[in-house]
Structure 1
Amino acid sequence: VVTSKEHKSCGQSRFGCWVCTVVKKDKSMTALIENGLTWLTPLLKVRNELVDERNLIENRLPQRRNGTDAINGMGTYTSKYRASVLKRVLAAQHTIQKTKPHLELITNQELVAIQTIWYRDLIFDYKVSEIYKEAYNLNLDMKDQNEKREKEVELLKKSCNDSEKDFNLIQDLLTLQKNKSLLNRKRGLKDDIENRIEEFLKKDK
């Protein structure tokens, strides 16, 4: 999500991603829908909602993902809002697949990655499998993974002797490694890990 007014789009339209929020109105997608590609309507609806909601303070935490205070209290999205966005994306995908059955907005692998990130962020109030079932009325079997993550967090806390700083550091390092693996993007992992450890050591001085 781009929030800076200094960012310029190409051709007074979006950069390319269907959820691009650089411009107030996505003229390209609107024109495509008006010219008959009505199956794009659910995408435009989700995109417009993201534009309207991105700067609402109630959708934001006061801290950034690295734990520092955010400008104007506009930090990372709350767990409730993150779950809400996922629900709407899956609902849009389900609607589109009625006419475009092979089209995916979000893959099963990415759903697993999202659940992993949520557990790393200690989000247990929302389950990807439950949101998926609500959208599709089908079960997404993630029971084994859910139990594994909960046990992992419990064991990690015990291993860190209830040290919040150590726990958060290891959580961050595990997140970096796991996310790269799940998304098949291991390039830059070593640098990311080194940067996170360096940041931790600076704060610990």
Structure 2
Amino acid sequence: MVFRPIMEMTTDDVWQLLLQRTPPWGGSHRELVTLYRNARGGECPLVIDKSAAPSCGTSSSRFGCWTCTVIEKDRSMEAMIDAGNEHLEPLMEFRDWLAVFRNERSKRMVERRDGRIALMGDGVTTVAGPFTVEARQEILDKLLETQASVQMPLISNDEISRIKAIWADDAVAEAKRHLKQREQLRAREQARTGYRCSSRATPGTR
């Protein structure tokens, strides 16, 4: 059995609980309140009297990852920049660039990771596969450029090392898959050639 009391709590309940307690790392949750306020364009995430402030905190206080490309525009990031955090502009520029980049078919492989080719509902258009190695390198380069611009850690050296190790594994797996495909084609061709030779030789044996 799983007990999840937060499912029964409102957004205001969560904020009141946080503000009534000291974080285990010290200080207070005031900086967190400020973060959410800036992300909401200056609106307070905590509502004491909704009749007095109907627009403050009445919508969801949640906002997601700064690289999320599901949404068309990152309103939270825009609000934080408008609130005086101009140094975050390169982050929004990276997200907007990534949102366009990911839809470029030339940056995606045709085959899925398992070697299969998936088709859209029309039965003709292929579903975009994972990014090509070249595209992944381009994304990493852009991220490192953004990191240098904002002067804050966005990716660690350990993460970069792990990413490159995955690229190497993917390259080996792709090479093995293509080799297997060539061997299968060669085997089928040999089988067809052998069948034709056998068919031509048959009349002479009569």
Q: Which has the higher helix share?
A: 1
Structure possessing the higher radius of gyration over alpha carbons: 2
